[in-house]
Structure 1
Amino acid sequence: MIRTHYSTQITPEMNGGSVTVCGWAHEIRDLGGITFLVVRDREGLIQVTLFKKTIDKNVLDIVRNLSRESVVAVTGNVKKEAKAPNGYEIVPAAVAVLGKAESPLPMDTTGKVDADLDTRLDARFMDMRRPGTQAIFRIRHLIQKSVREFLGGEGFIEITTPKVVATATEGGTALFPITYFEREAFLNQSPQLFKQLMMSGGLDRVFEIGPIFRAEEHDTRKHLNEATSIDIEASFLDNEDVMVILENLVKYVYSSVAENGERYLKTLGVEPKIPKTPFARVTYDKAISIARDNGEKIEWGDDLTTESEHSIGETVGEHYFIVDWPTKIKPFYVMPYENKPEICRAFDMMHPRMELSSGAQRVHSYELLHSRITEQGLNADGFEFYLKAFRYGMPPHAGWGLGAERLLMTMLGVENIREVVLFPRDRKRLSP
């Protein structure tokens, strides 16, 4: 049987028309003289009504013997019914079982019996059948679609960079080593070096939505070891220019989701507040002053702790930027201020709950970049492929990376980042 309609494509005005719907047996209620089969497809619920006196006995027997979550195809006539989901029901002429489900189920899909997060992730295929879980990933799709729309409208070209690399992107030890034939290689921390190379290559404005890997031993509600990063790099722009692009992107994404994802937001009971632009610019000095005033112990030159981020976020109360960071705690490719080299042109974009993005104007001088790599205790020879591009005409450029999962979880008020990833990879979870 071939599907002719999803549940939302059928209307009461189609009364008497024949349709074929396909989906899962969400619920079966046998009341003796009448049996109801509720079929769930990607878009919603369909009520199939079988009257004992008029229905074919073979069809009735198939439905009465169905196990919940079996896959079915139903062909029948649409009947207008105000009490049914979407205002119609289907009176079946034929029901075919396409995939039988065993009992008991790994978890309940109706929402009547809750399950803890580990149970849901262990049976993610079944968890995806829950309307709330599907709504999260339909909104995630809308976010990535709107990111592409916005950046395309700003003249950005989408690229794809390697995820297997020979050296660390940002230095440090947070790398997953892999065996690459006779050599050691690593899973990439970021597309940073490669998107900068595209500035030398003349693409001018590029973006990527892709996976990043961090071998950090975090076990928190906001960290993953494999995440999705939304990255841009743009020539002839400075840190402030790309901050404007970032805040306008976030506003556009929120607006797009509010406009196009209303039914999914309703399923989740969420009404995201569209942020106002421009976002506040809070200097690093001001940020640590706020944290200290709120009782946090933090010294100038320290990175912000989770507690400090919460403290500052509660004070600011909306999306904001922290700007003008100490140079020593930012990566080697970040541009220091010429008149005050201990401060750099870096920024973090913050939600009151957490950091969402980091970016900066980049060093485009070969000599300065080489010395910055050395100053951070890294071997410049390992970055030769990268440094080479800076010897043959590198324009001034700037960019940022935005965490897709963190953007989604803060938009929806989700508490655990694993909720917004199909198959999360963290310190403990490698399967499914």
Structure 2
Amino acid sequence: MQAALPLQQGMPSLAPMLKQATPAVVNIAVTSKQEIQNPLLQDPFFRRFFDIPDDAPQERESQAVGSGVIVDAAKGYIITNNHVIDGADSIKVRLVDDREFDAKLIGKDPETDIAVLQIKADNLKALVLADSDKLEVGDFVVAIGSPFNLRTTVTSGIVSGLGRNGMGEGYQDFIQTDASINPGNSGGALVNLRGELVGIPSQILSRSGGNIGIGFAIPTNLAKTVMGQLTQFGSIERGRIGVGGQNLDPALAKAFGLSSSRGAVITQVVPGSPADKAGVKSEDIVLKVNGREISSFDQLRNIVGLMRVGEKVELSILRNGKPQTVNVVIGKAGAETASADGKGGGNLHPSLAGATFAPLDESSARRARADGGIQVQDVNPTSAAARAGLRPGDIILSVNRQPVKTIEQFTKLANPKTPELLLHIQRGPGALFLIIR
């Protein structure tokens, strides 16, 4: 029989770091009530025939599990994903030492998929939040969570990509990682080798529902910004500057005489908006936002949408080939635009989620030869609005055969309670009707 090899001293190990980090990662159990989708129970004849009382329960209790991370031990604040606790009737948090607490929902933001919980407990351990802007592709990271309800599971990998978006609706600036992330990891911790929090695992890319080495985490800088507003106000006040735009692809770059296709083209500036007051003009090329290079209009939208009203954003632009800097004061979203979030929020029909709408300015009306209307300012290419057939630049002339010339009229006619919308749209030189359900 071969003798066991002696243990080697000084072997590299993540164990010391994990002993410090894992107590801050918690298991979250959610209980909610769901309506029983059985059309027979809605039939009075069926109910009488089988003697089913009218007050018979038509709901069932469902349970789900996820993860969370303690970020403030003194106040008991826990960050998790909105989709982990969405619709919850009760939320319980279990610590690594098996203590269990009822959690209070402080606030949630579906558009960034962040929620903040609070528990009252002693001797909590919190993770330090790292500066996620300093992450680089190739950095080692570790994911900690409860995949498939296997508590305190640790997987390791590297940062595979940064600034990922297009995985759905909302504000996205994901860290991509090959550290194994599976159902139940959502809301947990992505840490660096110092045990500092760099991201919140949120999504996986998989056809089977399991890990294939492509997972996405919300950067801590984004999560920290959202958490600050949720703990202070209980909700998010979206920032806006009042511009529409599109990505600067190679064809557009060539047309503008540029050598690089990185950046965003401003296609519209809403009259009276913060951008208009700051001097931003249509055809400006935005290259940097607050000193950070951007490669798409979505990145510009994300950065602005996560800033607080009243803050200043610095835009590094090219105008007629000459570099300029413009400082814009962030305004309040909804002041001159309308939007929907697709989940029962916003002020428009959920099937219009992913699009923003603004009044038709005089120059656009003159070019389109339109006597008023509402312009589609921006459309997320993966959103419900895009699937419904809306495109940036569309001019909505009427809703359900009622002319619209102001945002107030449009909001009233296209509200979330309207089951079906008939939109009369002018697109370029032509026109069409769209039915939105």
**Do these two structures clear the TM 0.5 threshold for a shared fold by scoring above it?**
no
> Which protein has greater RCO, CA pairs closer than 8 Å, 6+ apart?
1
Specify which structure has the higher proportion of strand. 2
Q: Output the TM-score relative to the length of structure 1.
A: 0.24
Q: Output the TM-score relative to the length of structure 2.
A: 0.24
Bigger Rg, which one: 1
Specify which structure has the higher proportion of helix. 1
